């Protein structure tokens, strides 16, 4: 029997005399039978799927842990914003320096915008992480998948080198697809472009 360079037999090697089926206990000179290769590939795919599922659960958990304090901060900032407006419009405002009167409302408004951005990123992470767990064909919002991919890609893109612009059809109907696969493909395209 000739020694093979490849682990996988060629399709026509089953008709040649150099590939002979042997018992599992027999020595194979480093060449694995076709069924063992397929079993190893299936096991590898199953392990990869389990890893992705675990990563999805981890991402959803992290998103939840970030979102809870962000909501707490956002709610309190709204209270502070309303209180500052009341103070600045009342008689106590005469005792505040002009710098505070002008900049405090802007600082609070910008902080609220930042907290809302955190909330948006967390919502995107949640949607994206759950998509990886469910790969069935169903109606999905491709526009939302694109927006999610673009939000997640911002961390990988250099703003000095990349000016990403996009336009989505607001009236686009939902499309029957495996939305998780669409989301991952769009993210891959954007990050690797």
Any domain includes 49: no
Any domain includes 3: no
What is the count of structural domains for the chain? 2
The model's pLDDT over 28-48, given as tens digits with 9 standing for 90+, comes to 555 667 777 888 888 887 777
What's the CA gap between 1 and 15, in Å, rounded? 14
Considering the domain architecture, whether residues 112 and 141 belong to the same structural domain is answered as no
Which pTM does this prediction carry?
A: 0.55
Residue 187: give the domain boundaries.
136-193
The model's pLDDT over 106-148, given as tens digits with 9 standing for 90+, comes to 999 999 999 988 888 887 777 766 654 556 788 888 898 888 8
What is the Cα 42 distance to its own chain's centre?
25
Any domain includes 116: yes
User: Which stretches does DSSP call E strand in the chain?
Assistant: 138-140, 175-177
Any domain includes 99: yes
Any domain includes 159: yes
């Amino acid at each position: 029997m000739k020694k093979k360079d490849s682990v996988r037999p060629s399709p026509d090697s089953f008709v040649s005399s150099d590939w002979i089926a042997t018992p599992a206990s027999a020595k194979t000179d480093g060449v694995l039978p076709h069924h063992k290769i397929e079993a190893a590939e299936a096991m590898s795919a199953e392990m990869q799927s389990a890893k992705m599922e675990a990563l999805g659960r981890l991402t959803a958990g992290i998103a939840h842990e970030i979102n809870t304090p962000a909501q707490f901060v956002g709610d309190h900032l709204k209270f502070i914003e309303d209180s500052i407006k009341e103070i600045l419009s009342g008689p106590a405002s005469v005792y505040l320096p002009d710098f505070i009167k002008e900049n405090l409302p802007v600082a609070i408004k910008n902080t609220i915008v930042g907290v809302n951005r955190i909330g948006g990123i967390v919502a995107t992470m949640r949607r994206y992480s759950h998509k990886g767990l469910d790969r069935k064909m169903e109606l999905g919002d491709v526009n939302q998948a694109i927006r999610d991919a673009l939000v997640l890609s911002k961390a990988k893109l250099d703003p000095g080198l990349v000016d990403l612009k996009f336009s989505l059809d607001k009236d686009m109907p939902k499309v029957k697809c495996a939305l998780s696969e669409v989301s991952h493909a769009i993210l891959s395209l954007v990050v690797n472009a």
